Structures are given as structure tokens and as C-alpha cells.
Amino acid sequence: MNLADPLLKALDSRRCQGLDYVELRAEEISQMAIDARETGLEVVSNRGEVGHSARVLDNGSWGFAVSNRMTDVPGTVVEASKASSVLTVASPTDMSVLADMRPVKKRFTTRAVTPLDDVRAEDKTDFLKTLCSHISASDPRITTCKASYRDFTGTRVTVTSEGTAVESEVSMLYLMTSVSARDSGALASARDEIGIAAGGWEHFEKKDTVEVIGDRLIRRIRQQLEGVPCKPGTYPCVLAPRVVGMLAHEALGHLSEADFFSSGAFSGSEGKKVAPEFVTMVDSPRLANGFGNIQVDDEGVIPRKVFLIRDGLLEDQMTNREWATRLGRKPTGNARAESYRVPPIIRMRNTYFEPGEMSLDELFEGKKFGYLCLDVRGGQAEANSSFQVGIQECFEIRDGEVSRPVRDLAISGIAVKSLALIDGLGKDFGFESSYCGKMGQSSPTSDGGPHMSLKKGAIVFGGAG
């Protein structure tokens, strides 16, 4: 039986009659998980999961229910309907209303050259074991290396009472490799993340090979071991694309999600200048090899690129259908759900600064002392636009030149102030891929941009010292 059939049948049943809006989502996903170390395989796991959820909007209130019994979709609709009935809407402005959209009926496929299901488990484990061995053998100071691989294949379906019926083929992969080292009692660790939203095993054959991933990590761990402590304070700096991406994500990205925007620090700044005129920042559903790529969002909306900052002016926000109504705009296709178990919420996809016109030499010019931050270790945003980003690869800048490596540190700032202190954007472009957490859900995203120069006062540096 097709995964969509029980959903479509339930939509036709009397359970759905009289409800303002019903959205049914189902998934059938297989996950292959392998954890390898230099000593051998630790986890070889196969996970099969099927389930569905119903989201009901009735009298302006949302109800949501989840079940893994595909034989009882109408029962789940009843549960969701009951849930919505316990809420009361005090005023018409509090009512949830969905923006209009033309129903979408389409099957979305992926273009995997080497489909993940066609690759033998033994070939996947060999790749990971070779990767760990390659890294471990590279430096006697390395104590452990772990490669955690996950791939997800299957189907996701969304049908709605408005006539939308979309089916998406899933072929996603994620690899996190982490390495630890010890030298004369000093401990160090570094990690590397790779995420492909829609693709196959060819990624590891052509782009991120054992040597490419291994060499990245070996370089990072050596820099950690040999690095000097960070000098706490604020300095002029150059941020590389992966860090610029995290800045885009944490400094403005989260606060440009419409549900966060109204209570955030940029509220009231629409149309106003928040950065120099050469700065443009977007959230896009498409980026070559982006982990945040989507062809349709989880409300069935065909997604579009959103200009969050255009030419220095704060322009648009990311929305779902409900928030599009509140703002009087068209939905942007940012409603994403981690799985059928949770309702879609407003999430970023691929968030990045557009490249500028400066060369790397120009970005470093005039910096007597500062920092070059190359790679990240997660981050977090706050309503008042405070951002914090962990940095796992960093160098001092002395007299405009890259100098000594720096150990683990974190950078922070207040975005309202920091964005105005950007003083240069490179011509290049790059991004990082990872999972972003919001309201208990994690979502694959990519974040990037060109090299960026910032004046003293924009970024505060702090480390263990």
C-alpha cells in the first residue's frame, strides 16, 4: 500500500468534515548508523520507522496528534481535533489563520548517483574504518578518533484538506568525525561535520574523500595542541566562511524567523539600515551541496529565497503560512519538521552572506593585532541579539599577516551592534553544514558566506586562557 493512501482515505472520512484545516503527514524511513573508531566498529545499526501525524486548525486553534499505527489515521485526526478544542482564542487577532496557497500535487525525487541503499554496509564500514585509521596513524599524539555516520532513505508524504498531496523521496547523509589528542598532559579535541540533504554515496567518492576529511581534522587537532591561549578582549578580526555562516545563523538568522522576530532585538527595524550597504544576507532553499536544501516545505509550500538584509537594509522574514498571514506576506516555505512526530515550525534552510568584492589581502590590511577564525564548534542566539559561537580553529593576525594558532575559544557579540561594524567582504564563498536546534527539534542547515572583516568592538574573544 502506498504511504499516502491511508492519509487520503482519512481526509475523505467524516472525521475530517467540519474542521477548518487538516494536514496529515506520514514517513517511512530507514536509517543506517555506523560508529567506527581506530580500534574497529562500535555501532552497526539499522532503524526502520513508520508513523503519521495529524495537525488540525479549527476555530483558530491548533491541535496535533501522533501515532505509529498507520491503520488508525482517522483516530489520530480525532485526537488532534480534541486537542484543538481545549484551546480558547480570546480575540480575533489571536486566531491562527493560514495564508492562501495553491494546492501542490507533486512527487519530489532526489538525484543520487550512487543511491545509499545500493552501497553495501561493508563498503560503508570500510570507508569509516579507513578514515579513522588514516587519522590515528598521522600523529602519535592522537588518542582516539571516532566517525559517526548516519544515512536516511525512504519517503515523506504530506496531504491537506485543501488538496495538497506531496511525496518526497529521502536520501540524506551525515558524518561527524571527532578526534582527541594529548601532548605532555595537554588535551585537545577537534571535529568535522558533513551533511548532504539529497544525494548519495558519490559524495565520499568525489568530494569528501578519506584524505580530504582526514587532512582537515589532522590540521585542526595539531593547531589545537600547538595553539597559544586567546587574549580575552575585543579586536579587529577576519572570519572565514564557516564562521561567517555561524554568525549569519546565530546573529540574525534566528531573529529573522517570524515567530522570534516580533520579540527580538530587530523588531521595529524593518526597512532600516542594520549593516553597511555592501552587506546582503539571505536564506535560500537551494545551495550546491547544501544540507538545508528542500524542494517543498512541510506545509506543502514551494520554498523561495528570502532576503533578510539587502544592501544593508533589514528586509524580509522567514515565515510559515500562519506567520505569513500575520505579516500580510506570501509564505516563504520555511515550515520544517524534524519528523512526523512534531509539527512544522519556522526554520532556516541555507543562510548566508552574499560575497563582496575584496581580496583576502585587502581584508587583512591594517590589522596590527587581531584574530582569524576559521572553524566553529556550535553556537547559540538570544532574543536581545546576543550571539555566542565556539571556535575550534583560529590564528592570531599580527601586522596584517596570519601568525600563531590559537587554542579553543569562543566569540560573542550583540548583533545589533556587530553587523554595523562589518568593514569588508571577500569575493570567495564557503559554508558549513550541521544540525540546528529550536524548540526541541533539530533541523539540517547550511550556513556560509565569504571571508568577512570586522572592526574592533564587533566581536568579543574569550577562552580558557
Partner 1 sequence: MAADMSQKSIVQDTVSEARKAARSLKCKEYEIFCNAVRERSVLIERDRVVSASSLKDFGIFVRAVTDGRMGMAFTNTFDSKHVRMCVASALKMSGVGDKDRNWQGFPSSKRSYRPVGGVFDKRVSSMTLSELRSSADVMIGSARSAGSVSVTGGEVEAIHKVIAISNSSGIEALMEETILSADCISVSGTGNAVTPECMDAAASHSKNLDFELLGESSGRVARLCARAANPRTERCKVLFSPLSLGSSESGLLNIVLSRALSGEYFVRKNSFLADKVGKEVAGSALSLTDDPTIPGRAGSRPFDDEGLPCKKTALVKDGVLKGFLWNSYFGAIAGEDSTGNGTRDYSTGNLSIAPMTLVVERGRGDLDSLVQQIDRGYLVWGCQGAHTANVETGDFSFVASPGLKIERGEIVGGVSGALVSGNIMDLLGGVEMVGSDQKDFGSSLMPSMVFRDVRITTG
Binders in 430-449 for partner 1, by CB under 8 A: 439
Give the nearer residue to partner 1 in terms of CB position, either 18 or 268. Answer: 268
Give the nearer residue to partner 1 in terms of CB position, either 115 or 390. Answer: 390
**Window 175 to 194, contacts with partner 1 (CB under 8 A):** 180, 182, 187-189
Choosing from 17, 45, 59, 109, the residue that interacts with partner 1 (CB under 8 A) is: 45
Report the nearest approach of partner 1 to the CB of residue 283 (Å): 21
Please tell me whether residue 408 binds partner 1 under the rule CB under 8 A: yes
Report the nearest approach of partner 1 to the CB of residue 365 (Å): 23
Give the nearer residue to partner 1 in terms of CB position, either 149 or 295. Answer: 149
Give the nearer residue to partner 1 in terms of CB position, either 254 or 349. Answer: 254
Give the nearer residue to partner 1 in terms of CB position, either 173 or 287. Answer: 173
d(CA 221, CA 74) in angstroms, rounded, equals: 54
Please state, as a whole number, how many other Cβ atoms lie within 10 Å of the Cβ of residue 89.
12
Cell 579513522 locates to: 132
Region binding partner 1 by CB under 8 A among candidate stretches 155-163, 290-298, 302-310, 381-389: 381-389
Region binding partner 1 by CB under 8 A among candidate stretches 15-23, 213-221, 309-317, 382-390: 382-390
d(CA 4, CA 22) in angstroms, rounded, equals: 14
Choosing from 388, 403, 429, 430, the residue that interacts with partner 1 (CB under 8 A) is: 388
Choosing from 407, 431, 432, 448, the residue that interacts with partner 1 (CB under 8 A) is: 407
**Window 358 to 377, contacts with partner 1 (CB under 8 A):** 377
Give the nearer residue to partner 1 in terms of CB position, either 280 or 385. Answer: 385
d(CA 61, CA 85) in angstroms, rounded, equals: 7
**Window 199 to 218, contacts with partner 1 (CB under 8 A):** none
Instruction: Calculate the alpha carbon distances from 130 to 34, 124, 147, 211, 217 in Å.
Output: 13, 10, 10, 10, 14
457: left (phi over 0), alpha (psi -120 to 50) or beta: left
d(CA 283, CA 445) in angstroms, rounded, equals: 10
Report the nearest approach of partner 1 to the CB of residue 144 (Å): 5
Please tell me whether residue 234 binds partner 1 under the rule CB under 8 A: yes
59: left (phi over 0), alpha (psi -120 to 50) or beta: left
Give the nearer residue to partner 1 in terms of CB position, either 96 or 350. Answer: 96
Give the nearer residue to partner 1 in terms of CB position, either 177 or 234. Answer: 234
Give the nearer residue to partner 1 in terms of CB position, either 238 or 346. Answer: 346
**Window 67 to 96, contacts with partner 1 (CB under 8 A):** 67-69, 79-80, 82-84, 86-87, 90, 94, 96
Closest CA to 78 of 67, 90, 88: 67
Report the nearest approach of partner 1 to the CB of residue 160 (Å): 17
**Window 126 to 155, contacts with partner 1 (CB under 8 A):** 143-144, 150
Region binding partner 1 by CB under 8 A among candidate stretches 1-9, 164-172, 237-245, 451-459: 451-459
177 contacts 37 by C-beta, under 8 angstroms? no
# of chain residues touching partner 1 (CB under 8 A):
90
Choosing from 339, 414, 430, 435, the residue that interacts with partner 1 (CB under 8 A) is: 414
d(CA 261, CA 267) in angstroms, rounded, equals: 6
d(CA 64, CA 53) in angstroms, rounded, equals: 7
Choosing from 11, 61, 132, 138, the residue that interacts with partner 1 (CB under 8 A) is: 61
Closest CA to 34 of 46, 26, 23, 43: 43
> Which grid cell is 74?
482517522
d(CA 100, CA 321) in angstroms, rounded, equals: 8
d(CA 223, CA 117) in angstroms, rounded, equals: 38
d(CA 144, CA 50) in angstroms, rounded, equals: 36
d(CA 83, CA 250) in angstroms, rounded, equals: 33
Closest CA to 103 of 25, 23, 27, 6: 23
